[in-house]
């Protein structure tokens, strides 16, 4: 397959990629070095345009989706770009170095599971591929008042200390470590750790206060992840 950077597709016959994991500022990161050549183009202007297109794809000012393997992606930023044009002007090479602050690859496809909660202690089995734990996004829409909802994967448990009124939505955003109640940040009113899905599967359990209605429509979303 072609290496993809955003919507830019590198020529698989003239491009190679090398990866390494580094510790940067006390955190893990993945550095990807992409090397390629342009040869056989009709003019120096076309060579320069081809090099400019690579640089433009890596210069959005934001992290860009980088796909090295089919069905997976990283979010990476440009660290450096070096171009070398041959003396004849119609061939060139480049070295593009990208850094992904989050070193994990994630699946392009998102898994979405709908879960109708009708009692405290309800559980839902979740499955994941990959080699790393998947971060969850959990959306709870209350039917009646939900008081002190809790989600647990058996190892990590996250509790919201408060009430979710009838028809309101509580969103546990695991990828950003934030919790929202109808768009309002209520993270300070939570305690514990965000649950995750382990490779091979996890059972997610819901509990709440005895005064709750115990009725909610829950949607769980996540992407498989790889080291």
Above 80 in pLDDT, residue 175? yes
pLDDT of the residue at 88:
86
- Tens of pLDDT, residue by residue over 182-216, are 999 999 999 999 999 999 899 999 999 999 999 99
Average pLDDT, the chain: 96
Residue with tokens 């006390």: 26
Q: What is the CA radius of gyration of the chain?
A: 23
pLDDT of the residue at 26:
73
pLDDT of the residue at 22:
86
Nearest to 151 by CA among 208, 202, 89, 113: 208
Q: Which two tokens stand for residue 25?
A: 């500022």
- Tens of pLDDT, residue by residue over 49-60, are 999 999 999 999
* DSSP per-residue codes, 127-163: ---BSBPEEEEEEEEESS-EES-EEE-SS-EEEE-SE
- This prediction's pTM: 0.87
**Domains of the chain by range and CATH?**
4-103 (2.40.30.200), 107-226 (2.60.120.860)
């Amino acid at each position: 397959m072609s290496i993809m950077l955003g919507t830019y597709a590198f020529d698989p016959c003239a491009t190679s990629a090398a990866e390494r994991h580094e510790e940067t500022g006390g955190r893990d990161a993945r550095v990807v070095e992409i090397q390629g050549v342009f040869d056989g183009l009709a003019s120096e202007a076309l060579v320069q345009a081809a090099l400019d297109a690579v640089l433009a794809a890596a210069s959005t000012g934001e992290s860009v989706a980088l796909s090295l393997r089919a069905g997976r992606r990283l979010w990476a930023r440009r660290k450096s770009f070096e171009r070398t044009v041959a003396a004849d002007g119609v061939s060139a090479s480049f070295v593009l170095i990208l850094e992904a602050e989050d070193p994990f690859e994630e699946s392009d496809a998102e898994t979405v599971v709908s879960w109708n909660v009708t009692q405290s202690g309800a559980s839902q089995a979740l499955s994941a591929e990959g080699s790393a734990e998947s971060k969850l996004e959990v959306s709870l829409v209350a039917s009646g008042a939900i008081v002190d909802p809790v989600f647990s994967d058996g190892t990590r448990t996250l509790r919201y200390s408060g009430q979710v009124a009838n028809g309101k939505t509580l969103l546990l955003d695991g990828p950003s470590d934030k919790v929202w109640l109808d768009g309002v940040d209520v993270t300070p009113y939570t305690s514990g750790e965000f649950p995750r899905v382990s490779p091979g599967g996890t059972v997610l359990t819901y509990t709440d206060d005895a005064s709750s209605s115990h009725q909610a429509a829950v949607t769980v979303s996540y992407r498989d992840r790889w080291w």
